[in-house]
Amino acid sequence: MPQSALKNAIARYLDARHPGENGAFATAVDGLALMRNTRTDVLNHMVYRPALCLVAQGAKCVMLNDQVLHYAEMQSLVISVELPGVGRVTQATPDRPYLAIALEFDPLILREVLAQLPVRPAPAAPGLGLYVEDTDAALADCMLRLVNMLETPVMLAVLAPLLMREICARLLTGPHGGRLCTLALPAGHAHRVGEAIRLLRAEFARALRIEELAAAANMSTSSFHQHFKQLTSMTPLQYQKQLRLLEARRLMLVENANVMRAAYQVGYESPSQFSREYTRMFGVPPKRDALASRSLGMADIQAYRVAA
């Protein structure tokens, strides 16, 4: 069964290189990470990049503003645009940990594969920039071959790019291919909103006007605001606020910044406003959160970085 083989391959790889550790672990394939978690009480605040996240064992949920998506074994979370959100493993134990694989999309490969398809999927109606779908045996087999290939590095350079293309082709021709193709098409809403998101991520500490973001997306302000909200479930201002708070948390946890320095560095002029909004997002005041969280491993903390 693909699920059993994939689960065993992920566990074998992680046991050999990261025994007993929880987290998301990068591999020799750019954009490919394997995940293991034995806990269900940890909230992981991060920016989700366009990617395929396939669960081999356990279950997880992602909270995006007022949206909650649940996915479990042999289901995949497909993300078509960068989104700040909160993830939590919902099914895992030390004996039966959560195991998953995540593969970031390369827009260039998506475009090349899309151009070669005999019939393009019809672009889907505007909607949220992530969705859950059942993973069929063929796609699971692609992911299994990719994980197994990590054990034979000499083959990676030749065969990994071919597998990436096959994975993209299977997703684009699958039941939700129309939603993913908007990421690959330059005229697609996801691609154009993504240009504005890149500006937001690069300059989140600066006050950005909606007209400037709309221009980056090559849209009118009204159209941009509408499509941004449909894709992300939040306004550009709410999106920017989450980026600022995520980066502030990283500064305190990784660079040992104090609350005032973190607040000013991410664009807040009022430390009290920063503290209120931080508490609203993370559930605890910034100073208390930093003191309690510094015992986390670097693999966990680095997930908060937004200024890539």
Residue with tokens 């605001």: 225
User: Which amino acid is it at 141?
Assistant: D
Number of Cβ atoms within 10 Å of the Cβ of 38: 16
The full set of domain ranges for the chain reads 2-184, 189-233, 238-295
> What pLDDT does residue 167 have?
95
**43-73: pLDDT as tens digits:** 899 999 999 999 999 999 999 888 899 999 9
At residue 154, what is the residue type?
Answer: V
**pLDDT confidence bin for 157, thresholds 50/70/90:** confident
Nearest Cα residue to 253 out of 219, 213, 295, 223: 295
CATH number for the segment(s) 2-184: 2.60.120.280
Query: What whole-number distance in Å separates Cα of residue 303 and Cα of residue 179?
Result: 26
Look at residue 56 in the predicted model and tell me its pLDDT. Answer: 97
User: Left, alpha or beta for 49 (phi > 0: left; psi -120 to 50: alpha)?
Assistant: beta
Q: What H or E segment, with its residue span, contains residue 231?
A: helix 221-232
Ranking 53-62, 83-92, 298-307 by mean pLDDT, the lowest is: 298-307
The residues, ordered by sequence, that sit 6+ positions from 214 with a Cβ below 8 Å of its Cβ are 196, 220, 221, 223, 224, 225
303 vs 92, more confident: 92
Largest CA distance in the chain: 57
Report yes or no: 193 and 44 within 8 Å, Cβ to Cβ. Answer: no
Collapsing DSSP states into helix, strand and coil, what is residue 52?
strand
User: What tokens does 21 get?
Assistant: 């550790």
Give the CATH architecture of domain 238-295.
Orthogonal Bundle (1.10)
Is 125 a residue whose pLDDT tops 80? no
Does the fold of domain 238-295 match that of domain 2-184? no
**pLDDT tops 70 at residue 293:** yes
Where does the pLDDT of residue 155 fall: very low under 50, low under 70, confident under 90, or very high at 90 and above? confident
Compute the residue count for the chain. 308
Query: Which amino acid is present at 89?
Result: V
Three-state SS at 197: helix
The pLDDT score that the predictor gives to residue 175 is: 84
CA gap 87, 68 in Å, rounded: 10
